[in-house]
Chains A and B, each alone.
Chain A
Amino acid sequence: MDELMLDGNAVAGMLGEVFAVEMTTATMICGNCGMAGAVGATHVFRGAGVVLRCPHCDNALVKIVEGGTRMWMDFGGMRTLEITL
């Protein structure tokens, strides 16, 4: 694989630090267009932090910033997160 994977699979490890369940198969509903899709199918952009965008309408679903011993997760662009227990 090349260096920068650009979909939700790329943040599975980061999400695995926080969530107790596998997150790439979790379903997100976009707060903008209402489309439901797997976290693994979102588009991921890395900069100072990480942004997961809706593959349908490009809305920023989740923003994550890591800094030292803290992590900020903004789920403001998402309506619902459905996980399998």
Chain B
Amino acid sequence: MTWQVADVVGVVAETPHVKTIMFDVPGWPGHRAGQHVDVRLTADDGYQAERSYSIASAPDGTRVELTVVRIGDGEVSPYLTGQLRPGDQIELRGPVGGYFVWEPPLGGPLLVAGGSGVAPLMAMIRLRAAAGSDVETRLLLSSRGWDDIIYRDELQRLNGNGLTVVHTLTASQPPGWTGYARRVDTDMLAEVGPGPAERPRVYVCGPTPFVEAVAEALVHLGHQPQHIKTERFGPMGS
């Protein structure tokens, strides 16, 4: 597997701190929903920095989309979210990973995300939609506030046809909000379902403490640990 050049073809602001960067990668072999890529930046003096990012887009030819949170003191994310413009080029290596992967024939997933952890799960939801699948799918997405919900409009549009999107807003809620307003816990997971008797495949992605807490709650509810796949990242966005 080698590094290849990717052309930036678009940049979209998802929230005040999050951008999606769209790439065209000539010769891209295609990817599976949940896989990721390594991004490599090289400074003028030759210094290189690498980071891993989940692919947010469904498989679609040579198109690859990454959703990136700007981390103030980060080495890579400020460049990706602040400097990149259509026509720029960066280096990608991938797709990689086969552990945190879902495809439509695999039935009834429960997807649980904290913040930008929704990115690989969005690839699954987009693939499901593109394939015309109506397989029962639930997404529980924890965000700080209404304006911090990544892919909010698209999720609203895709909701239905077997997909149920549930939000919890942990820090602030808009006036009249009737949804969840706390961190994901055992009671919330039990209400959102499906329960362990239905043996759903569960995908959990978010900051490490989020993933740990959700996985523990799921096991407490009776889900089999081998049915729970996790992907964790850091540092914590506060």
Task: Determine if B231 and A13 form an interchain contact, defined as CB atoms under 8 angstroms apart.
Answer: no
B-chain residues with CB within 8 Å of residue A5 when the two chains form the complex = 36, 52, 231-234
Q: Check B132 for interface membership: any CB of A closer than 8 A.
A: no
Bound complex: CA of A7 vs CA of B96, how far in Å? 13
Determine whether the beta carbon of B76 is less than 8 Å from that of A13: no
A70 to chain B, nearest CB (A): 16
Tell me whether B230 is interfacial, beta carbon within 8 Å: yes
Within B163-221, the residues touching A (CB, 8 Å) are 207-208
Contact B99 A40 (CB under 8 A): yes
Q: Does A81 reach chain B (CB closer than 8 Å)? A: no
Nearest residue in A to B37 (C-beta to C-beta)?
A13
Expressed in whole angstroms, the Cα–Cα distance for A2 and B52 within the complex equals 9
Residues of B with C-beta under 8 A to A4: 51, 233-235
The complex places the Cα of A13 from the Cα of B54 at a distance, in Å, of: 12
Which B residue's beta carbon lies closest to that of A44?
Answer: B232
Complex-state Cα separation, A3 to B119, whole angstroms: 13
Q: Quick check: which of A17-25, A57-65, A71-79 contacts chain B, the rest being far away?
A: A17-25
Contact A1 B67 (CB under 8 A): yes
Task: Please report which residues of chain A, range 1-40, place their CB below 8 angstroms from some CB of chain B when the two chains form the complex.
Answer: 1-10, 12-14, 16-17, 22, 24-25, 38-40
Q: Determine whether the beta carbon of A13 is less than 8 Å from that of B208.
A: no
Number of A-B contacts defined by CB within 8 Å: 97
Mask: chain B, 66-78; 1 = CB below 8 Å from A; 0 = not? 1111010011110
Question: How long is the Cα–Cα vector from A66 to B128 in the complex, in angstroms?
Answer: 38
- Chain B interface extent, by class: 35 or more
The answer to whether A3 and B232 touch across the interface, beta carbons within 8 angstroms, is no
| Neighbouring B residues of A24 by C-beta, 8 Å | 96-100
- Tell me, rounded to whole Å, the shortest Cβ–Cβ distance linking B93 to chain A: 5
Shortest Cβ distance from residue B55 to the other chain A in the assembled complex, whole angstroms? 10
CA distance A39 to B74 in the complex (A): 26
A12 x B96 contact (CB < 8 A): yes
Tell me the smallest distance from the CB of B233 to a CB of chain A, in Å. Answer: 4
Closest-CB distance, B210 to chain A (whole angstroms): 11
Partner of A40 from the list B67, B97, B234 (CB cut-off 8 Å) is: B97
Q: How far is the CA of A38 from the CA of B226 in the complex (A)?
A: 10
B94 at the interface (CB under 8 A from A): yes
Counting chain B CB atoms within 10 Å of each CB, which of A1, A13, A14, A22 scores highest? A1
Q: Is B1 an interface residue (CB 8 A)?
A: yes
B residues in contact with A1, CB < 8 Å: 36, 52-54, 66-69, 116-117, 119-120, 233
List 12 A-B residue pairs with CB atoms under 8 Å apart, sorted by A's residue number.
A1-B52, A1-B120, A9-B36, A12-B52, A13-B1, A13-B38, A13-B50, A14-B38, A16-B1, A24-B98, A40-B97, A41-B229
- Please list the residues of chain B having a beta carbon within 8 angstroms of any beta carbon in chain A: 1, 36-38, 50-54, 66-69, 71, 74-77, 93-94, 96-100, 116-117, 119-120, 207-208, 229-235, 237
Give the B-binding residues of A (Cβ under 8 A). Answer: 1-10, 12-14, 16-17, 22, 24-25, 38-41
Which 3 pairs between the two chains have the least Cβ-Cβ distance? A40-B99, A12-B96, A24-B99
